[in-house]
Amino acid sequence: MDAALRTYLVVTGAYWGFTLTDGAIHMLVVLHFHQQGFSPLEIAFLFLFYEVFGIITNGLGGWIASHLGLNRTMIAGGFLQVFALAMLAVDPAWLTVGYVMTAMALSGIAKDLNKMSAKSSVKTVVPKGADAETRLFKYVAILTGSKNTLKGVGFFLGGLLLFTIGFRWALISMAVGLFLIYAYVAWALPSGLGTSKAKAKISQIFAKTREINILSGARFFLFGSRDVWFVVGLPVFLASVTGWNHLEVGGFLALWVVAYGFVQAGAPSLLKKGHGGRGPQGKSARNWALLLAVFPAGIALALMAGLDPALSLIIGLFAFGAVFAINSAVHSYLILAYSDQDKVAMNVGFYYMANAAGRLTGTVLSGWVYQTQGLEGCLWWSTGFVLAAALISFLLPPVKGEAPAVKPAT
């Protein structure tokens, strides 16, 4: 097997394993502490450090990876997640708000080390050639789409394990499984993967090109628009208003994320006709964001009109998810297409720092807005965030070097 393809498969497989635990730990924490009587805002604050340290990790992670290699940052992220899972699998008396926030902070660092490492690695393994742009879009879409599908499975896994073996044993079983996966990854990944030839200074973390800054701003609002209703408001609404049990809530959200992942992985096939065989352009991010804004507004109007809440959410959420997935796939391609290979880890780290900042803002707002304005309020905030992402995307330039069309990958 080709060495580059083998590396891509090892990275993808490790990212899959990590993502299962990332989805599961979210569902476990939300449902378990809702069951313990925590308010929506208190549950949101359990994820505060998860997102705060994600911002820091993405900023510093790219710089660290450019010096030490993407293999080391990915392995470090995997074992740090094992430690975070083990921290939560303690006597319930230890699980104070501060303790859980600390464990989730470590999980946030682990998640963003893995995400930055996995997505940056794709740029290093795609061979140069006439179809490099199309192949890059295909590879990153498969990695990101499959990751999101597995995160959906992780949501279901979290609900299932909580329903069957309980909070503590769910965490222990996941910690053991992830440890075995990353023990193999530590042996299999080549050393020096993604190490930059020109060692960047730490001051260059924020020294980005105009297109990277604009795309990162759009990314902030795009992911804030999802998390402002998805992280706390939606699962609490389903559990308290519709009366669904933990397994039903976890199963439904899992199905949504799985479908979202399939759409994202298939984005190159869905979009290739509209781009003449080339990858997406800056205007693609603008157009898809404008379409996305229709759906949270539509769900909010349906709930305000007194339509069946479960049916309105099921239909609206799947429509929102499909269009959001394409938005995310376009962004994931553009950040790599705008980056030189020698600077990809730094650029991706900065871009995901903005992503994490958007998630942080959305997560905190999700608890506060749901508690004060209900799910309808969360959806109107989501609409505003999407429109902000669309407006920023008007400033995105075309991808350089894409004048000649390339043959679509088959």
pTM of the model: 0.69
Task: Provide the 8-state DSSP code for 397.
Answer: P
Quick count: other Cβ atoms within 10 Å of Cβ 341?
15
- Non-local (6+) Cβ contacts of 21 within 8 A are 81, 85, 154, 174, 177, 178
C-alpha closest to that of 341 among 102, 145, 136, 88: 136
Report the range out of 90-99, 186-195, 254-263 with the highest average pLDDT: 90-99
- The better pLDDT of the pair 162, 346 is held by 162
Asked if the model's pLDDT at residue 303 lies above 90, the reply is yes
Mean pLDDT, the chain, integer: 81
C-alpha closest to that of 247 among 177, 162, 173, 190: 162
Cβ–Cβ < 8 Å for 121, 192: no
Cβ–Cβ < 8 Å for 381, 229: yes
C-alpha closest to that of 44 among 227, 314, 245: 227
φ, ψ of residue 396 to 5 degrees: the values are -70, 135
What's residue 407's pLDDT? 34
What's residue 88's pLDDT? 93
**Lowest-confidence segment of 19-33, 268-282, 360-374 by average pLDDT:** 268-282
Query: pLDDT class for 134, splitting at 50, 70, 90?
Result: low
Query: What would the pLDDT profile of 77-86 be if each residue is shown by its tens digit?
Result: 899 999 999 9
Task: Provide the 8-state DSSP code for 205.
Answer: G
- The better pLDDT of the pair 184, 3 is held by 184
User: In angstroms, rounded to a whole number, what is the distance separating the alpha carbons of residues 350 and 338?
Assistant: 13
* Location of structure tokens 């899992």: 254
What's residue 230's pLDDT? 84
Cβ–Cβ < 8 Å for 76, 204: no
Q: Can you tell me the mean pLDDT for 203-216?
A: 75
Q: Can you tell me the mean pLDDT for 374-379?
A: 94
Cα-only R_g, the chain: 20
Asked if the model's pLDDT at residue 136 lies above 80, the reply is no
Secondary structure (3-state) at 130? coil
Asked if the model's pLDDT at residue 270 lies above 60, the reply is yes
What's residue 66's pLDDT? 65
* Location of structure tokens 């006439």: 130
Query: What would the pLDDT profile of 10-61 be if each residue is shown by its tens digit?
Result: 888 888 889 899 989 988 888 888 888 888 778 878 888 887 887 787 667 6
Can you list the domains of the chain with their CATH numbers? Answer: 3-191+200-393 (1.20.1250.20)
Q: Can you tell me the mean pLDDT for 140-162?
A: 78
Quick count: other Cβ atoms within 10 Å of Cβ 304?
12
Specify burial of residue 295 (Cβ count, 10 A radius: 0-12, 13-18, 19+): buried
What's residue 410's pLDDT? 30
- The better pLDDT of the pair 118, 366 is held by 366
Secondary structure (3-state) at 89? coil
- How far are the Cα atoms of 111, 201, 391 from residue 147, in angstroms, in the given order? 12, 31, 28
Chain centre distance of CA 83: 21
Helices (H), 36-96: 40-46, 48-68, 70-88
